[in-house]
Amino acid sequence: MKKILLIITGITLLSGFSFAQLKSVTVFTDYSYAPTTRLEITNADAVGGGVKVKFAVWDNFNLGFIGGYKLYSVNEPDVLSTWGWQFWTDRYFNKIVSDLAADANLSVEIGAVQKMDVIPFILFAEYDFELTDKLFVTPSLGGGVYFYTRRMYATEDWSKYFPAADYTFYYSFRNFAPAKKGNPVFVYSGVDMQYQLFEIMSIYSSINYNYIIPTEGSMGYDAFPFENEISLKLGIAIKY
């Protein structure tokens, strides 16, 4: 039912562009974090940026879309076990244990790094409230989709001691796991604030809350690391 409502909302918003006029284009930077994580994730935050395009429909009512890119850093303490990386759990880690047991002069420190590339696309409707001649506050609602790729690699820092030479040899490398991908949908809400510097230029700031719609078993939702997201944006809006 939630997916159907989101599709209907998207169709309604798209139909409005046929008689709308370009109002502004905004370029912004973005910081995002996940208040509620899923799976075994303990923390997830991101930096990024994007473009917001707004069309005037009537009076102060607008339609538009947002696109961009975010790079998430994801913390998951036992990710090498929870990732489902069969090569690592069934074969490679056993080899590491065997090598260490066979050579007392060999040692290793194993870690993991996890990142997530996110391309959000959002359709929204909003209304501009003019507080003063130069200050505007704009609440908005809409929906969108995240195109994401979760990436993870193991870090291996090895050392081998050679007693005869009293020398320790160090070497390091990365072991990359198969990526996880998907395109879950979400409900978008936010409040923008713009202060007009010049006739065609304003300072733009925004806070947004996104709720990811549960779609177990499809759209990559099962591997998506959080339930909701808060984003803070700062940028420049060019008016047309």
Residue 49 reports pLDDT greater than 90 = yes
What does the buried/exposed string (b/e) look like for 186-202 if buried means 16 or more CB atoms within 10 Å of the residue's CB?
bbbebebebebeeeeeb
pTM, to two decimals: 0.84
- Tell me which of 212 and 18 has the higher pLDDT: 212
User: For residue 169, with 0-12 CB atoms within 10 Å meaning exposed, 13-18 middle and 19 or more buried, which class applies?
Assistant: exposed
Is there a contact between 38 and 92 (Cβ–Cβ < 8 Å)? no
What local confidence, expressed as pLDDT, does residue 11 receive? Answer: 47
Domains contained in the chain, number:
1
Is there a contact between 74 and 44 (Cβ–Cβ < 8 Å)? yes
Q: Whole-number mean pLDDT of the chain?
A: 91
Question: Residue 216 maps to which CATH number?
Answer: 2.40.160.20
pLDDT digits (tens, 9 = 90+) for 120-131: 999 999 999 999
Question: pLDDT class for 139, splitting at 50, 70, 90?
Answer: very high
Look up the domain containing 158 and give its range.
2-239
Is there a contact between 239 and 202 (Cβ–Cβ < 8 Å)? yes
**Distances, alpha carbon 156 to alpha carbons 97, 100, 104, 211, 225, in Å:** 13, 13, 17, 37, 25
End-to-end CA distance of the chain: 38
Residue 20 reports pLDDT greater than 80 = no
Is there a contact between 121 and 65 (Cβ–Cβ < 8 Å)? yes
pLDDT digits (tens, 9 = 90+) for 145-186: 999 999 999 999 999 999 989 999 999 999 999 999 999 999
Long-range contact list for 98-104, CB < 8 A, 24+ apart?
A: 103/160
**What is the C-alpha separation between 143 and 129, in angstroms, rounded?**
22
